[in-house]
Amino acid sequence: MSTANAYLTVAGLDVDVVYKDIKNLHISVYPPVGRVRVAAPKHADLDMIRLAIVQRLPWIKRQRDQLQNADRQTKREMESGETHYVWGQRYLLDVSRRSGHYSVEAKGQTLWVVTPPEADADARRATLDRWYRRQLKAAVPALLDKWQPVIGVEEVKVVVRRMRTKWGTCISHSGAIWLNPELAKKNPRCLEYIVVHELVHFHQCSHGPRFVELMEHYLPDWRARRDQLNEEPLAAEEWSNAENGV
């Protein structure tokens, strides 16, 4: 069998497989968000690796839960002085401005969230969430125009949907990809990685060797972008899963 590194999905977990000159298989879970990696002997086939992961699932899930609970961001109280991120840049929140309308503006190093005087923290949070969604929706079309012809995927529908554990997902039977609005907080390189990742899934559903081969062909630095994306966990807030098409 080929000993090229692989990328699997087992029981909903994304798993990196690295073949090494070793006798026994080792499973590791890495901070901050619980990335799973398997170091496998060169003779191990993918079925053997999947079985080993399934057998260790309770342990893997305990390790991931511990890491994610420890590293998950504290809930934003939507008060002036908090740190928030927009496209990878750090801003200080200012909610001191009042108006009859809801609006958000990132200017200098300040993220202004403007609301009516009676608005509470939940209203300010919802205002900022809608703004992040608009930011993401505005950024996606250019990426689709760039990558759809290259990868050979047409007529993709994009849905912005908050997901607790995923940055994106491909719904191939409906010709759609879902993107987490949290991506608007990350470096734009990370959004491009997710868009390419999900478009590739239209050709290869699993994360096996063929998927890795395609990702390395289209986006050679995809692993670095993925690691950059996962340097910080998803936010702690519990959000609605309401869908919003781009």
Percent of the chain with pLDDT over 70: 88
**Do 40 and 162 fall into the same domain?**
no
In a domain, 77, yes or no: no
CATH number at residue 114: 3.30.2010.10
In a domain, 76, yes or no: no
Q: What is the mean pLDDT of residues 210-215?
A: 91
Q: Which of 154-158, 167-171, 204-208, 211-215 has the lowest mean pLDDT?
A: 204-208
Of 26, 49, 71, the last residue of a domain is 71
Please tell me the distance from the alpha carbon of residue 118 to that of residue 147, in angstroms, as a whole number.
Answer: 45
10 membership: H or E segment, kind and range: strand 6-10
Q: Which residues contact 30 (CB under 8 A, 6 or more apart)?
A: 36, 37
**Do 92 and 42 fall into the same domain?**
no
pLDDT band at 238 (very low <50, low <70, confident <90, very high): very low
Position 188 pLDDT exceeds 60: yes
Q: What is the mean pLDDT of residues 27-37?
A: 82
**pLDDT at 178 (0 to 100):** 96
pLDDT band at 233 (very low <50, low <70, confident <90, very high): low
Q: Which of 72-76, 107-111, 186-190, 220-224 has the lowest mean pLDDT?
A: 72-76
The candidate with the shortest Cα–Cα distance to 78, out of 91, 89, 90, 94, is 94
**Do 35 and 59 fall into the same domain?**
yes
Of 36, 71, 106, the last residue of a domain is 71
**pLDDT at 232 (0 to 100):** 60
Phi, psi of 105 (to 5 degrees): -145, 130
Cβ-in-10-Å burial (0-12, 13-18, 19+) of 78 comes to: buried
In a domain, 113, yes or no: yes
Position 224 pLDDT exceeds 60: yes
Q: Which of 59-68, 197-206, 213-222 has the lowest mean pLDDT?
A: 59-68
**Do 66 and 90 fall into the same domain?**
no
CA geometry: angle 195, 240, 71, nearest 5 deg: 70
The candidate with the shortest Cα–Cα distance to 137, out of 85, 178, 105, is 178
61-114 pLDDT, tens digit per residue, is 998 888 766 645 556 789 999 999 999 999 999 999 999 899 999 999 999 999
Show the tokens assigned to 58.
């309770």
113-139 pLDDT, tens digit per residue, is 999 999 999 999 999 999 999 999 999
In a domain, 237, yes or no: yes
Of 16, 49, 71, the last residue of a domain is 71
**Do 186 and 241 fall into the same domain?**
yes
In a domain, 178, yes or no: yes
| For residue 32, cis peptide bond before it (omega within 30 degrees of 0) | yes
Please tell me the distance from the alpha carbon of residue 182 to that of residue 210, in angstroms, as a whole number.
Answer: 28
**Do 93 and 61 fall into the same domain?**
no
What is the span of the domain harbouring residue 57?
A: 6-71
What is the average pLDDT value for the chain, to the nearest integer? 87
**Do 149 and 220 fall into the same domain?**
yes
In a domain, 78, yes or no: no
Percent of the chain with pLDDT over 90: 63
In this prediction the pTM is 0.74
Domain count, the chain: 2
